[in-house]
Structure formats: structure tokens, C-alpha cells
A and B are shown apart, each in its own frame.
Chain A
Amino acid sequence: MKKLLKNKEGLIEIGFRLNGTEIKTSVKPNETLLELIRRLGYKGTKKGCDTGDCGSCTIIIDGIAKVSCLLPAFYAEGKEIITIEGLGDVSNPHPIQKAYADSGAVQCGFCIPGMIMTTKFLLDRKPKPSDSDIKHALDGNLCRCTGYVKQIEAVKIAASKINKK
């Protein structure tokens, strides 16, 4: 990792890939990665607690799901970051997004982007997860609407769809 330096305004210049696009920006030393991502216009990543407890701000950094509210923005330097917007869109949704929508797993939808990113990370590692695998993986993503019942179903549906491909 290259050494990061503050510029004259006290900002840190960083570069990283966000959903496949090269980003060059400067960040404040105390800015969180969550704040940076939202500032760049990617509003799908949500702030539910800002203390790393709810999982709504989960993104994938170099292939690993992480909560972005606990990371400094400059952590992004040189990384490959995927947010919910990078998975798919309404006209061409990722099978996980489609499965969540189809199975009634989305109520208010605020926790859903984070939960989908965690699901992506799980299915990348374990294409055929057991119930226990799913529950352990999603444990850090809080939802108050659904009782998790239909979300666990959604992960199973998504897994079988991805595996059929």
C-alpha cells in the first residue's frame, strides 16, 4: 500500500475502483468510507447505526463483505469496491436482487442492500449454503420488519438460480 499524504487543505488524495469505475477523489482524514460512498452518489449503501452493529452499510471490498461505517474513507485507496448499485439494476437485476424482490423479503427495504451484499459474499464462497450457513452469514445484518423468514428463503432461491446458470 502506498503511503498516503495530506494535501495543503488537509485532505487525502486517493484512488480506487467503485463498481468498475476508476475514482480519484480527496477525503477528510475523519471521513468514513460510508460517508464517502454516499457523497459520491451511491445512496444504496445505508446508515442505520454508524457503529458497525446493523450491517446496513455492508459493501464488498476486494471480494470481502465489510461494514463501511467503521472504515476510514482513505482505506479505499487501491481497492476494488462493489456496492449494491454495482450488482445489478432494475432492468437487469442480479439473481440475488431478483430473489429478494420475488420472495417477499423486502418490506421497508432499508436493510436490504446490506443484506444482499452479505448474501453475495456468502454465495461467492459457498454456492450451496445450509440453513445454518445462511443464518451465520446474515447474523450481522439487522432487520426489524421481516423476522428474517423470507430473507432466508430468498438466499436459498438465489443460490439455486445462480447454480443453475
Chain B
Amino acid sequence: MPHDHHAPPRPDNDEPLTYWQSMEIAVRELLIEKGVTDATEIAQAIDAMDARSPADGAKVVARAWSDPAFKASLLKDASAACHGMGFDIGPMHLIAVENRPGLHNVVVCTLCSCYPRYLIGPPPDWYKSRAYRSRTVREPRKVLAEFGVTLPEATEIRVHDSTADMRYIVLPERPAGTDDLTEEALAALVTRDSMIGTGLPRQPE
């Protein structure tokens, strides 16, 4: 069909506002009316949050792969280690969990969608889906296989449910054959999913 490209990208949202949408608008308008903030400041804050990406997290991982002392400090106190690299990670308390031979970590938030967005950007849509949230604690191996990650039976899978005040980043294993790579080249191998645990780093070319 020649006109396939006219398929609507998503349904129009003509339905009435939900309770929380009305509340958000009411609170926002009050804050603006009372001079606490203004529309420009709100737009800038949204823009700054949208501009965050997995790039900062990838730099942290690449540094940990290259510098054993940094890796030790990252595993001890990930918030402090990220601050030390100059990253503004907001109010987040971060824990880094390390993959090693025989252990693979994966992160989920069953209760909502807690995610280290200050360091690796907004979460992918699937991370917030009920399917990912409920299945990852129940059948993580099946979920990982659907992401293309099939691990040996002998490898322990450790699921991290971000139930409260901590946020998690997975420190994946450094791919083989990368001894000669610079930190910058290593960072290019680190994917978003490898820091969630649903993926593995890219292999060097």
C-alpha cells in the first residue's frame, strides 16, 4: 500500500485528564502564580533531564575497567565515585554491582520504576512495563533470554529490586580483546542495557 506511512503514530489523547494530571497542572500553575518558579525554569529542568543519556554511566564503567583503584571506590561508594568524576547525580544514592565469571546482575524496580536516571538518562519504556517488573523477579533467565542474553546454568543470576532509597548500576565484565583500547574507546562498548543487566557490552570490532 502506498499510503502506509500515513498510519497514525499514536492515538490522540482526547480522554479526560486523570486525577494526577489535574493535580500536576494545578500545583504547577499555583507555583508559577506565587512566583516560586516560572515556565522557563520548568522547561529547562525537563530539558536537562531529557538530555541525560547513558553516556555518563558508560564513562564510569570504562574508568572502572581501566583503573583498579577507581573500581574499588566505585564498588565501595558509587555515589562518591561518580561525584569524583564530576557527574551531578542529584540526590541519588547509587550502588554499583559487579558482574564477574559465575555471577550476573540485573536491575528492576517491581514497585514503580526507580532507575539511576541522573547517571544514565530516562529509563526505556519496557523498564516501566508491568511485564518486565513482575517477570524479572520471577523468571529472570527467561527475561534475559528474550533480550538475547543466555547465561550458563552454573552462572548465578542476582536480581536487584530497587525497593527503596538506592539506585543500581551494573558494572559489566570487560570484553576480551580490549587490552589496547583507550578509556574513550572502552566507553563506546558500554550499552545502556549492559548497565541495567539486560545486555552485555559490545564486542570490539
A and B are partners in one complex rather than unrelated chains: no
Residues of A in contact with B (beta carbons under 8 Å apart): none
